């Protein structure tokens, strides 16, 4: 399974890594950083090539992913946990201030595994900690959602919010339309365009195909 993940990622993102990193530098600095204090402990769930965790400013940073490439992409000082997320996570309870996940939940094989992930997220977060979730919204991209071989779960902002609430989280923000569907298969936008897009929420309603959810362990 891990070798399959490595092959899919290497083919899908070949030649675009530097440009993607520039995009994520803007996304973290101009948007996601507001939920992450610089003295926080942060877990990147399904970290992939570590674009988020490498660029976010935090005191303690972990990346959890079964992909062997994650360890080679992580910046110095980041703790990489190579494990199946469907098994108990090797993190202490109440050890994390923020969990971030991007384009990950749709790759899980079943709703049961998703429920396990949300339960583990609840366990490792401290009281008051946040889970930030970004992912393709099936309500707005059903025509292309299944174009990716490794998509299994069709999720929307509504279904994921319900799953989070069932796991004990309280929703603080639900954005049904946030980022465009994917950067795969085309040149990533320039940092200038990304920064401008983030400042124009009205554009999200037309171009956004991914949801963004903020849930709190209350």
Per-residue pLDDT of 7-23, as tens digits, reads 555 555 555 688 999 99
Q: In whole angstroms, how far apart are CA 89 and each of 43, 65, 214?
A: 11, 11, 21
Listed in sequence order, the residues at least 6 apart from 210 whose beta carbon sits closer than 8 Å to its beta carbon are: 103, 134, 135, 136, 137, 177, 178, 179, 180, 181
Q: How confident is the model at residue 91 (pLDDT cuts 50, 70, 90)?
A: very high
Looking up residue 47, the CATH number of its domain turns out to be 3.40.50.150
What domain count does the chain have?
1
Average pLDDT over residues 38-66: 97
Q: How confident is the model at residue 183 (pLDDT cuts 50, 70, 90)?
A: low
Q: What angle do CA 113, 119, 124 make, to 5 degrees?
A: 125
* Contact between 45 and 114 (Cβ < 8 Å): no
Query: What integer pLDDT is reported at residue 13 of this predicted model?
Result: 52
* Average pLDDT along the chain: 92
Domain range enclosing 17: 2-217
Q: How confident is the model at residue 29 (pLDDT cuts 50, 70, 90)?
A: very high
Query: What integer pLDDT is reported at residue 187 of this predicted model?
Result: 72
CA torsion sign, 30 to 114 to 83 to 168? positive
Q: How confident is the model at residue 188 (pLDDT cuts 50, 70, 90)?
A: confident
Query: What integer pLDDT is reported at residue 11 of this predicted model?
Result: 53
């Amino acid at each position: 399974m891990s070798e399959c993940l490595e092959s899919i990622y290497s083919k899908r993102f070949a030649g675009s890594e530097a440009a993607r990193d520039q995009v994520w530098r803007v996304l973290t600095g101009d948007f996601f950083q507001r939920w992450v204090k610089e003295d926080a402990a942060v877990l990147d769930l399904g970290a992939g090539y570590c674009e988020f965790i490498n660029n976010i400013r935090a005191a303690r940073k972990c990346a959890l992913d079964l992909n062997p490439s994650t360890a080679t992409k992580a910046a110095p000082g980041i703790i990489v946990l190579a494990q199946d997320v469907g098994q108990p996570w090797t993190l202490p309870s109440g050890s994390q201030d923020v969990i971030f996940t991007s384009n990950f939940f749709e790759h899980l094989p079943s709703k049961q595994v998703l429920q396990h992930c949300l339960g583990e997220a609840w366990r490792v977060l401290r009281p008051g900690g946040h889970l930030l979730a970004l992912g393709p919204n099936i309500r707005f991209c059903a025509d292309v959602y299944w174009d990716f071989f490794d998509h299994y779960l069709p999720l929307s902002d509504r279904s994921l919010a319900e799953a989070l609430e069932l796991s004990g989280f309280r929703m603080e923000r639900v954005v049904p339309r946030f980022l465009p569907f994917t950067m795969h298969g085309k040149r990533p936008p320039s940092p200038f365009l990304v920064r401008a897009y983030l400042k124009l929420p009205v554009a999200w309603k037309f171009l956004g195909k991914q949801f963004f959810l903020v849930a709190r362990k209350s």
